[in-house]
A and B are shown apart, each in its own frame.
Chain A
């Protein structure tokens, strides 16, 4: 399993000269939309290892994988956010790469199809999300805002807060 993040860092913005009002993000595509996470929430990006499926879990929980000796739950956010249709689900090849997120509370991986990029943005360019109508799927606590970078609109998420929210709804459907 090779670490891919270092490569993307070289291709993307440089980490060193980050000023106080700047934020470094990892940008990845889910279906056709661009999403981003703050780089502190991401431990590494790896090629998706073999995933063992977990019985009676939500469809977007793809299973559990061994990443450097840790057991990591693998999530498909495209499915979670309802970004793909039923037919696409069956024929879409699974994400080739996994973004590994590790906080004190959670360890998990998010499937992405392409190697993510880094992007340095000014905090001023992040619109807070309060003006957007919130759907229940992405709770307003987990969506930090929209990043504008030229024509691009990137949705900035907070995975830890999102997991807190999902935790209360549980990943295991209760019978």
Chain B
């Protein structure tokens, strides 16, 4: 059995076991109230689906048995046959057999099923004849949903011995099956995770209070809380394949609309990621995959011209890199013309002409993530539904990730998302500003550097310094945050005032951040320490503050705000791009 077949079998079994369980309940309901049309309809639907799935995968026994059940309920629905105790018993037995067949499939054992099948077939035939005889005005058996009864009845030619042997096993009591897995509503896990977050805060506070005084180092407490935390984070992880597999259908639908032939290839489906992160990113993935088909892959004619295979390919890949999960959506289509993007970006006022000239290809391509940018003017059924690439970017950044795009003309386009594998705990760097502690997520920090004053230059476009021999802009977070007491309000009249006011020998603590491949320095008052924090979202009425992504409670009970580097960088680059001085 190939890997693929195995996977399909697993998926089929999971669903079929559930359906079989449901049938059991429904049959009980049906026995109690055999006129309930809802119940009959549901049973009919379930057996129909099961038959279809089993047929598609070539599981003969399951297909035939569920087909027979479907047929019986088709007749019951149309009130062609009367129901009685005999039929109920037959139905339950058939369902038990169905369960045995499923187990047989799972454990790769052969299970005979002809006995019960034949029995039910005979029963059905007899009942149909009966009712035809009773109600003369009724036509013969109305066309059954699928194969005519005679056909199935013909299969009666099964050896008598098998039927007998079958009868023995049927007498076994139906067993109650407990699955080895349980499903938990995600809200319960969220609750647990919140509790662990509070526990960690409480732990920090206990340690802070007792620090040094008792000689106790709380190593056990540390270990238990962190094991607990990672344990719960682990429960929340699911395989990306869970989401990836849904894209077969998405691709099928989009390529049908676009009249293209597209094949989806999945890689790294066993990579695990927090369920909530996957949920947040799922819309973005749909968008990217649709984009790849409708804009990436060329039409059949065009592909023929460029000697490409008629069938286009879209890849969904996942891989792990430390705590980051990388998800890539790529196609082997036409690629993106950077010149076109540049023109468009200038046209739509996303970047100025002067800036555009200085940007390299990579930077220009990544302009597609800017709000208000969309390369396709026409609105199609597939794309252009108001969801642009900027939404993808925002979704990724909302969970502390990032996204970038690369493309080669004629060869294809790849969109890469870098996502945290878990949301609960973040590595953060604490720093002092305005005598208050702030935090910044480590995922955005490239380095921390203490500069001397003479290492910093004043230029017409603000302060610059060098990092790894590359010039970078320096910005005082004080200028962005503007938290001066009004009483102490000294006029900051030029963009150098803050810098000039510093004493000559002052070390300038700078956070080098990298966002969308733009590097810049943020000057803080003083670095404190690195720490794992549990970030909470800010609630109304402070939730709309663009400078902050959330807050955390420190060991001493104080609130520490978490700076949102992604959003600050977006604000800064926008202001710089429009040739406006920051503040």
> What is the interface of chain A, defined by CB distance below 8 A to chain B?
49-57, 59, 61, 63-66, 69, 71, 73, 89-90, 105-108, 163, 166-167, 170-172
Contacts and interface: CB of A to CB of B under 8 A. Distances in A.
A50 B555 CA distance: 13
Range class of the B interface residue count: 20 to 34
B100 to A, nearest CB: 52
A53 to B, nearest CB: 6
A54 B486 contact: no
Most buried by B among A56, A90, A106, A163: A56
B481 interface: yes
A106 B541 CA distance: 7
A64 B538 contact: yes
Given A71-B536, A71-B539, A53 B482 contact: no
12 contacts: A49-B557, A50-B557, A52-B436, A55-B483, A61-B542, A63-B559, A66-B557, A71-B538, A73-B539, A90-B487, A172-B542, A172-B546
Contact of A53 (B483, B544, B546, B557): B483
Nearest to B478: A55
B369 to A, nearest CB: 22
Interface in B533-563: 536, 538-542, 544-548, 551, 553, 557-561
Contact of A64 (B201, B481, B482, B561): B561
Contacts of B540: 105-107, 163, 167
Contacts of A171: 541-542, 544
B198 A69 contact: yes
Contacts of B541: 73, 106, 108, 163, 166-167, 171
Contact of A172 (B487, B545, B558): B545
Contacts of B483: 53, 55-56
Contacts of B486: 59, 89-90
A172 B536 contact: no
Interface in B471-496: 480-483, 486-487
Given A54-B561, A55-B482, A56-B482, A69 B544 contact: no
Contacts of A107: 539-540
Contact of B548 (A54, A61, A90, A170): A54
Nearest to B488: A90
A80 B447 CA distance: 41
B434 interface: yes
A73 B482 contact: no
Contacts of B436: 52-53
Contacts of B548: 54-55
B545 A57 contact: yes
Sort A-B residue pairs by CB-CB distance and give the 5 closest, nearest first. Answer: A55-B481, A52-B559, A90-B487, A66-B553, A73-B542
Contacts of B559: 50-52, 63-66, 71
Contacts of A53: 434, 436, 483
A108 B437 CA distance: 21
A52 B551 CA distance: 10
A167 B198 CA distance: 29
Nearest to B487: A90
A96 to B, nearest CB: 17
Contacts of B557: 49-50, 66
A89 B489 CA distance: 14
A170 B544 contact: yes
A138 B483 CA distance: 26
Given A50-B557, A66-B553, A55 B547 contact: yes
Most buried by B among A50, A55, A108: A55
Nearest to A59: B486
Contacts of A170: 544
Contacts of A108: 541
B489 to A, nearest CB: 11
Contact of A54 (B480, B536, B542, B553): B542
B32 to A, nearest CB: 42
Most buried by A among B480, B541, B544, B546: B541
A172 B544 contact: yes
A166 to B, nearest CB: 7
Interface in B446-502: 480-483, 486-487
A63 B557 CA distance: 15
A63 B551 CA distance: 12
Contact of A56 (B198, B539, B547, B560): B547
B198 to A, nearest CB: 6
A57 B544 CA distance: 10
Nearest to B571: A175
Most buried by B among A50, A54, A69, A107: A54
Given A71-B536, A166-B541, A171-B542, A64 B547 contact: no
Contacts of A51: 559
Contacts of B545: 54-57, 172
Contacts of B546: 172
A167 B480 CA distance: 23
Contacts of A55: 480-483, 545, 547-548, 561
A53 B482 CA distance: 11
A132 B198 CA distance: 47
Nearest to A108: B541
A89 B485 CA distance: 11
A90 B560 CA distance: 25
A164 to B, nearest CB: 10
A171 B542 CA distance: 7
A165 B544 CA distance: 15
A126 B483 CA distance: 41
A56 B538 contact: no
Most buried by A among B536, B545, B551: B545
Nearest to A89: B486
Most buried by A among B434, B436, B482: B436
Contacts of A89: 486
Given A52-B559, A52-B560, A69 B553 contact: yes
